[in-house]
Amino acid sequence: MKQVAQRYIHNRTKAISVDWYMTKRCNYDCSYCVDYLHDFHSPNPPLEKMKLLVDAIEDKYWYNVQWSLCGGEPMIIPWFYDIVEYIGRSMPDEISVVTNGSIPADKIIKNFEFLDNIVFSIHFEYIHNKIEETLEKIIAIEKWRREWNANHDKTKTFIARFMVYPGQLDLIEKMWERLVEEDIEKIEFRNIRPQHGVTNELRPGQNELILGDNTSSVSTADKIKKKAERRSKGYDSQVFQQLIGRNSFYTQEEFDRINSWYKHKTDAKKRNNIERYWEDGSVTVDHYNTMTLNKDNNYKGWTCWAGVQHLKVDPDGRVFIGSCHRGGPIGNIYELDEGFELPTEPTVCDRTWCGDYLDLRVPKAAPGYEHLLKDYV
């Protein structure tokens, strides 16, 4: 049976989502993160330039914006607290941040004051020797969140997200059990993938983003081995070495186990948020992790409302309609002026894969089925 449309069920106000890679600088160097999104040395964007982007979005959408802030590592920006406070003035629909959780718990909690959601990603190449410290930090943040929600009308969410690392599934399961015992409300599993090729090959809009299917001239094993040579301090070499030699990220046993986790270790009602429309008229609700794990995310030729309901800002300040970089940049936050215009019409997808969560949330429909989304775009 063929899928013909999909949408994100939690965007009832047709808000625009802004996926803002605020900085390229990161204190981690995970093997599955593409080079063009992070390094150890790039300067952070000036606060005043960041405010210009916020102003440009708010001039058109005002409060009806879902801000997703990431990096690099956004919370190591010296003025992260200031820009989040600035965004919060308009009381937007949502301000969410994805962090590697490396800064102290009290600093994360301070930033949480102006955030609606924090996703705490657990990266095993860097926390393998700090398991207990990581768990205690998650527990402390969740405790603060619960106390906040008990005393405020607008509640906050906190997600502990396991980046499901090959060879670490037993450890992940033990950590999950501990977090369940501590009553952590939201726990996710995120399947990851090796990145083939060199930086320019991986940059969307120049070549396709390879999803680990061995079509690149540079093998996964060679890519990982090369990246190991430039490792930053703090990574766990024993964990990392388990990847060398793998051209398939997960064994079949691991693949089946991860799928089982998606079905049984999370609350499906809370976890599933992509509403999918099918040719026979039926409708199902799924989770993007399940869709990407099973490569059920090809929309080539579909109408996509990227640009109208979604924007991406990359670490170099360039503004795109999505992480696919379809159509090239429409502006740069370092050069914004009164002539900057946001898109008003949907586009037609020309990519093989749609792999980013926020891109998958954008309403999209196969030719002839756009009417199914008329109430949501």
Structural domain includes residue 280: no
Structural domain includes residue 363: no
Looking at residues 269-298, what average pLDDT do you find? 88
The string of pLDDT tens digits covering residues 69-80 is 999 999 999 999
Structural domain includes residue 6: no
Residue 248 pLDDT grade (very low, low, confident, very high; cuts 50, 70, 90)? low
pLDDT at 352: 85
SS3 335: coil
pLDDT at 202: 42
Structural domain includes residue 105: yes
Residue 309 pLDDT grade (very low, low, confident, very high; cuts 50, 70, 90)? very high
Domain that holds residue 211: 13-269+302-357
Structural domain includes residue 53: yes
pLDDT at 264: 80
- pTM of the predicted structure, to 2 decimals: 0.82
Structural domain includes residue 289: no
pLDDT at 180: 96
Structural domain includes residue 283: no
Question: How far is it, in rounded angstroms, from Cα 15 to Cα 97?
Answer: 17
CATH of the domain at 262: 3.20.20
The string over 250-276, giving b where at least 16 C-beta atoms fall within 10 Å of a residue's C-beta and e elsewhere, is beeebeebbbebbeebbeeeebbbbbb
- Quote the number of domains for the chain: 1
Strands (E), 100-202: 117-122, 157-164, 186-191
Residue 218 pLDDT grade (very low, low, confident, very high; cuts 50, 70, 90)? very low
The string of pLDDT tens digits covering residues 121-170 is 999 988 988 999 999 999 999 999 999 999 999 999 999 999 998 889 99
Strands of the 364-365 sheet, one edge to the other? 283-286, 274-278, 3-8, 364-365, 303-304, 347-348
Structural domain includes residue 1: no
The string of pLDDT tens digits covering residues 257-266 is 998 998 887 7
